Structure 1
Amino acid sequence: MGLFKRNPFGHILLIKKWIIRYLGIITHRRFRGFNELQIEGSEVIKNLPHNNVLFISNHQTYFADVVAMFHVFNASLSGREDSIKNIGYIWNPKLNVYYVAAKETMKSGLLPKIFAYAGSISIERTWRAEGKDVNRQVKMSDISSIAKALKDGWVITFPQGTTTPFKPIRKGTAHIIKRYEPIVVPVVIDGFRRSFDKKGLRVKKKNILQSMEIKAPLDIDYKNDSIEDIVEKIEYSIEQHPSFLKVLTKKQIEDMEELNKQRKYNV
């Protein structure tokens, strides 16, 4: 690597590498220490191509979700199976991993700006700004930035655009999928909003069982699937379709209670 080699966004890769290393070291115990991250499906990561991969996920905190994915992705690429044991994997991280985030969030302080250098594609939300509902046009420069990141590597996005569960999927994600035809990998997370504050910076509660399931890539017919078809596939794959809001059976309730005992958390 050249000393001042840059990625397509102008970030110096050596600086980005050291930021990821440092943040990885100081956050590792949040997922393997204070709490325990249970991982499923890491073999999917090992079989993905170098670029044009889009990870779609439900969203629970501003930053902890992405940090956990950086840990899991790099651990998986280093040969670990459903584990982030031993932090050595962070020494040589994958540098072409990006994540979509709200521009106002990434400019809200020094720490978010450091996070942004590690891989943020900062976009202007079309429906929310400064805590208020808005209605504005999508900026083509934001779409171009996501396309540039997909061409270079992997992109993480949260298609609901909010940490509130069961909110509608934003159609912009479906348009990007249809236009750029990435491999789409669903990720389902849980336990993060119980263990962290909303920003995902402060450990709110310890001994929480966190989980991350990496599913097989979606089967998408890029030419014939409609935007609505793709939205529905996203909803089901990240378990945010309204059908998941259903009346539970007695057995399901008992299973959930048993799981909550493991999580040491009373809902």
Structure 2
Amino acid sequence: MPIFKRNPFGHILFIKKWLIRIFGVVSHGRYRRFNSLQIEGSEIIRDLPETNVLFVSNHQTYFADVAAMLHVFNASLKGRVDTLKNVGYIWHPKLNIYYIAASETMKSGFLPKVFAYTGSISIERTWRSAGKEVNRQVKMSDISNIKKALDDGWVITFPQGTTKPFRPIRRGTAHIIKTYKPVVIPIVIDGFRRSFDKKGLLIKKRNILQSMVIKPPMEIDYENETVEEIVKRIEFEIEQDPSFLKVIPADEYKRQEEELDKKRKFWDMY
């Protein structure tokens, strides 16, 4: 690979590779040592096409969610099955993985700006800016950049557009699916909100059970399903439909916590 080869966004791949290597080694312990990330379905990653794949997921922190997915995807492509054991998989990372993020988040400091170089597709949110509700038109350049990323590889998106749970799915994701017809892979994550601060940079608690479930590709009738139908299906697939909300009695909650503690102790042995 020529040392100054660039991706469609002008990023030098040599620099991107080294950034992913460095961040990968530094962050590995956050999912293997300080906390245990339980993975399910990572074998699905190895069977995906090289381009035009869209991952849709619920969202819990700004950066830790994406970092975990980059770890899991690369580990799976290097033959790991539902494990991040041995961080050597990050030495030759897949360089055409992108993730959609709010431009104001990726410009909020030096570290986010560096993170952006690893694959951010920064978009301008149409419904919120600087913590205030807004109503503005979608920028066509943002749509163009998402297409560019899908044409080049894989794209991760968080269709709720917020880290708050059970918020509505943004219709823009369904429009992208109907327009570009990608392979759509749902992902459900949990435990990140308890493990990290809101940005996903600082470890808030240790020995928290984290999980990532990668589901099979959605079967979508791109021509006949409506935007509303696709939105509803995504909501169910990433388990953010209001029907997933439950009121758990105190004694049942305590019992579940005790069961989780037993699992944590078991995983700590490995």
TM range (shorter): over 0.9
1: CA distance, partners of 2:166 / 2:38? 23
SS in 2 for 1:100: strand
Is there any run of 5+ residues in structure 2 with no aligned partner, and where? Answer: 265-270
Shift of residue 261 of structure 1? Answer: 2.6
Decide whether aligned partners of structure 1 residues 111 and 221 sit closer, same or farther in structure 2, where only a CA change above 3 A counts. Answer: same
SS in 2 for 1:163: coil
2: CA distance, partners of 1:209 / 1:54? 26
What residue number does 1:55 align with?
55
Is there any run of 5+ residues in structure 1 with no aligned partner, and where? Answer: none
Give the counterpart letter for 1:155 in structure 2: V
SS in 2 for 1:54: strand
Give the counterpart letter for 2:96 in structure 1: N
2: CA distance, partners of 1:252 / 1:212? 23
2: CA distance, partners of 1:255 / 1:54? 37
Is residue 2:157 matched to residue 1:157?
yes
> How large is the Cα RMSD of the aligned pairs?
1.6
1: CA distance, partners of 2:191 / 2:69? 14
Give the counterpart letter for 2:51 in structure 1: N
SS in 2 for 1:229: helix
Alignment of 1:79-228 (within 5 A): 79-228=79-228
Shift of residue 246 of structure 1? Answer: 3.2
Give the counterpart letter for 1:223 in structure 2: E
Shift of residue 3 of structure 1? Answer: 1.0
1: CA distance, partners of 2:26 / 2:138? 36
1: CA distance, partners of 2:124 / 2:262? 39
1: CA distance, partners of 2:131 / 2:151? 32
Alignment of 1:20-31 (within 5 A): 20-31=20-31
What residue number does 1:69 align with?
69
Shift of residue 254 of structure 1? Answer: 6.8
SS in 2 for 1:37: strand
1: CA distance, partners of 2:74 / 2:258? 31
Decide whether aligned partners of structure 1 residues 7 and 41 sit closer, same or farther in structure 2, where only a CA change above 3 A counts. Answer: same
SS in 1 for 2:28: helix
CA displacement, residues 123-154 of structure 1 (integer Å, 9 cap, x when unaligned): 00001100111111111110110010000000
SS in 1 for 2:126: coil
Give the counterpart letter for 2:147 in structure 1: A
2: CA distance, partners of 1:127 / 1:178? 21
SS in 2 for 1:160: coil
Decide whether aligned partners of structure 1 residues 220 and 250 sit closer, same or farther in structure 2, where only a CA change above 3 A counts. Answer: farther
2: CA distance, partners of 1:263 / 1:81? 19
Shift of residue 251 of structure 1? Answer: 10
Alignment of 1:229-248 (within 5 A): 229-248=229-248
TM-score normalised to the size of structure 1? 0.95
1: CA distance, partners of 2:100 / 2:235? 18
Equivalent residues of 1:207, 1:263 under 8 A apart? no
What residue number does 1:39 align with?
39
Alignment of 1:10-25 (within 5 A): 10-25=10-25
Equivalent residues of 1:187, 1:212 under 8 A apart? yes
Decide whether aligned partners of structure 1 residues 57 and 32 sit closer, same or farther in structure 2, where only a CA change above 3 A counts. Answer: same
